[in-house]
Amino acid sequence: MKRKGYLIKGVIVLLSVLFLVGLPLQNSWGKEKEINLNLATWGPPTGAIAQGIQWYADEVVKRTGHRVKIKIFWAQSLAKQMELPHACRTGTADMVAMLPVYHPELFPFMAANMECLILWGGEIGQGIKPYRKLREEFPEVRGEFEKQNQRLLAFWEYARMDVISKKPIKGLADAQGVKMRSAGMVLSKIFKAAGFIPVTMPSTEAYDAASGGVVDALLASPETTYKFKWYEVCKYWTRTGILGSIVAYGISINLNVWNKLPTDVQEVMDRVGSELTDRYPTLLFEENKRYEKIFRDAGVKFYELPLADQEAWRKKVARSSFEDYVKKMEKTGYPNARKILQRYGELLGYKPWEYSE
């Protein structure tokens, strides 16, 4: 009898344990502790970029059953634009949406899009597959965010870059001596070769610089022009034709924060990031059409840089920009830089090393 009683008690205990173990599996999101993350970015909560960032945050919240919460700090309210990589690396921000191409010293392979491959002239959406392929083929490319104590969750493109100015620029002859807002050493070199006088500054300072006469033209995309209202002070838009749409933006997360997240949460964040990368080109294309209507309604006039000027401009800087950047990377510890960047150029269908200047 005693043995039978012990057996019954044992069965009851076993069933109780199985019930308690199985209970969280029925609703794993709801029964676990809420995870609160902050995400810092530079721009205001308007435009295609903001829509993409907000979509990412909302989808992660939804797909984790509201277990994960992401609070977005817009307009440099948590960290200044150029400080975002540092904020993520040190943990001041759990996550950031930033422009890695502005930091070739930290993210040299993504920055190559702006530093030496920007003259490829590609359209929105055409740069996604080549960059993904490059990350698959080369561990150096995959690892550059990890070196900065970050994990890249999503990336997307900057639209083709043009010039918006206070006076018409219909050809390179009109560009001579015009002071313009640029970004980075290589872009400044590219615009200097065209005859401009480049002044490097972040996009957040460009409106005041143009309205105050510090510069008379701005390196621009539809998104940044709309977001920062540059069309209020510059009424002439020149489509350059050669400054292609490039992978420039990314959402990353601090690795220490990432490593503490449950595996299922990590999987959701990775999956949503990949989906954002895929859906962003369509979002940007539709938004750019809307932006152009806003610009035209505000009195902005559009011009196309002549094809002869485009080719003459490209020949002046394509090869030297590529060679200079390769040598710079080799000196800073990337002996395979030429191999990797030539492969990237091939994936993009652009071979600057073959140009003669």
- Residue 283: what pLDDT? 93
Q: 12 pLDDT exceeds 70? A: no
Higher-confidence residue: 134 or 20?
134
Rounded to whole angstroms, how far apart are CA atoms 114 and 108?
10
Share of the chain above pLDDT 90, in %: 85
- Residue 185: what pLDDT? 80
Q: 23 pLDDT exceeds 50? A: no
- Residue 202: what pLDDT? 87
Q: Which domains does the chain have, with CATH numbers?
A: 35-158+247-288 (3.40.190.170), 162-245+291-351 (3.40.190.170)
Q: 344 pLDDT exceeds 80? A: yes
- Residue 234: what pLDDT? 98
- Residue 5: what pLDDT? 53
Residue range 67-95: mean pLDDT, rounded: 98
Residue range 212-220: mean pLDDT, rounded: 97
Is the Cβ–Cβ distance between 67 and 34 less than 8 Å?
yes
- Strands of the sheet containing 179-182, edge to edge, are 197-200, 179-182, 217-220, 162-165, 236-239, 301-304
Q: 187 pLDDT exceeds 90? A: no
Q: How far is CA 290 from CA 182, 232, 242, 301, in A?
A: 25, 16, 23, 15
Q: 15 pLDDT exceeds 90? A: no
Residue range 144-159: mean pLDDT, rounded: 97
Rounded to whole angstroms, how far apart are CA atoms 172 and 68?
52
* Average pLDDT of the chain to the nearest whole number: 92
Residue range 116-129: mean pLDDT, rounded: 95
- Residue 62: what pLDDT? 98
Q: How many CB atoms lie within 10 A of CB 23?
A: 11
Q: 79 pLDDT exceeds 70? A: yes
Rounded to whole angstroms, how far apart are CA atoms 350 and 322?
11
Rounded to whole angstroms, how far apart are CA atoms 91 and 70?
15
Is the Cβ–Cβ distance between 269 and 70 less than 8 Å?
no
- Residue 11: what pLDDT? 43
Global confidence as pTM: 0.83
Residue range 221-241: mean pLDDT, rounded: 95
Q: 20 pLDDT exceeds 60? A: no
Handedness of CA 275, 281, 284, 285 (dihedral sign): negative
Is the Cβ–Cβ distance between 313 and 193 less than 8 Å?
yes
- Residue 8: what pLDDT? 52
- Residue 25: what pLDDT? 34
Q: Which residues contact 253 (CB under 8 A, 6 or more apart)?
A: 37, 88, 94, 95, 150, 151, 153, 269
Q: 349 pLDDT exceeds 60? A: yes
pLDDT in tens, 267-306: 999 999 999 999 999 999 999 999 999 999 999 999 999 9
